[in-house]
Amino acid sequence: MKLLINGQMQSEEAALPYSLSLLRGDGLFETILTIDEKAVAWERHYERLSNSAERLLITLPAKIDIELGISKVLKGCVGQSRLRISVLSDGQWFVTVEPEIFSDKPIALMRATGIKSSKGSLSGVKSISYGESLMEVRKAKQLGFDDGIFLNENGHVVETAFSNLLILTSDGWLTPSASTGCLPGITRELLLKWFDVQEALFTFEQLLEARAVYLTSSIRLIQPVSKVGDQLFDESSVGIQLIAQFSKRLFSNINP
């Protein structure tokens, strides 16, 4: 893994900034897919980071400094990597990059035990305070699943601990509405813009009635889900087509 802190390349991971902001999980982050030395959908990621910083009263470093840092840390990278930008509330920031290893392992989801509030101060924000989500993943893995599906206080499906959700129904493609408190994911945003995908409110029971279920994220893009609880799902030919079309469009213009 390569590491850059406050604009300077570091030789050791131990050089991470020791601060109360880091210890308390008080900051923001973006995880970005990169191809060779280029970040995919960088402008959209920066816009989301900026909006979240404004909500949480965090001052970002100058955009040009972040961009110079990204260029430094991506220098010499080949293939697809995972870039993470973290900005702490005390003004410190760091960037990491590591090769991304993709897996075609089927994804199994369960219903999360916790509730995700649609009105919370961190709802829709990519905060480094990730304890709630990681706890649900640990619970899921103990039961043989990969991730958990959060519902909000109204009983509507929100997202999983790590990804947005996309379902194929008799009415077409649906993704949970932003009003549920879900993260405004970049892949989700592009699906809404480019394809016939609609925001909607739906329950866990309605999700189980879907023809197919998918996860969407900036790194894995669109992934088929094979199981939710005890319900098995086959990958749809319509979904295979959507995955191919999305990837082709994104990689033909990596800063859409």
Question: Based on the domain organization, do 241 and 206 belong to the same domain?
Answer: yes
Count of CA atoms in the C-beta half-sphere (13 A) of 157: 29
In this prediction, residues 31-48 reach a mean pLDDT of 98
Could you tell me the two tokens for 90? 């005390």
**Short-list 195, 140, 145, CA closest to 166:** 195
Q: Which of 102-111, 156-165, 178-187, 189-198 has the lowest mean pLDDT?
A: 102-111
Question: Based on the domain organization, do 131 and 218 belong to the same domain?
Answer: yes
Residue at which a domain ends, from 99, 118, 147: 99
3-class DSSP assignment, residue 128: coil
**Full residue range of the structural domain in which residue 188 is found:** 107-252
In this prediction, residues 190-199 reach a mean pLDDT of 98
In this prediction, residues 197-209 reach a mean pLDDT of 98
Question: Based on the domain organization, do 49 and 156 belong to the same domain?
Answer: no
Residue at which a domain ends, from 99, 123, 140: 99
105, pLDDT greater than 80: yes
The CATH number covering residue 231 comes to 3.20.10.10
2, pLDDT greater than 90: no
Question: Based on the domain organization, do 144 and 24 belong to the same domain?
Answer: no
Q: Mean of the per-residue pLDDT values for the chain?
A: 95
Question: Based on the domain organization, do 112 and 86 belong to the same domain?
Answer: no
Question: Based on the domain organization, do 9 and 43 belong to the same domain?
Answer: yes
3-class DSSP assignment, residue 24: coil
Phi, psi for 110 (deg, rounded to 5): -130, 170
Question: Based on the domain organization, do 149 and 69 belong to the same domain?
Answer: no
Question: Based on the domain organization, do 140 and 236 belong to the same domain?
Answer: yes
Tell how many helices (H) and how many strands (E) occur in the chain: 7, 15
Structural domain count, the chain: 2
Strands 93-99 and 2-5, sheet pairing: antiparallel
pLDDT level of residue 12 (50, 70, 90 thresholds): low
Whether the Cβ atoms of residue 93 and residue 68 lie closer than 8 Å to each other: no
Q: How far apart are CA 39 and CA 174, in angstroms?
A: 28
Question: Based on the domain organization, do 134 and 207 belong to the same domain?
Answer: yes
The CATH number covering residue 39 comes to 3.30.470.10
Residue at which a domain ends, from 99, 134, 164: 99
Alpha helices in the chain (DSSP H): 20-23, 42-55, 63-74, 131-142, 186-194, 204-208, 237-252
Determine the pLDDT at residue 45.
98
- Whole-model pTM: value is 0.94
Question: Based on the domain organization, do 169 and 118 belong to the same domain?
Answer: yes
Q: How far apart are CA 167 and CA 151, in angstroms?
A: 15
pLDDT level of residue 3 (50, 70, 90 thresholds): confident
The region that residue 196 occupies, defined by phi over 0 for left and psi between -120 and 50 for alpha, beta otherwise, is beta
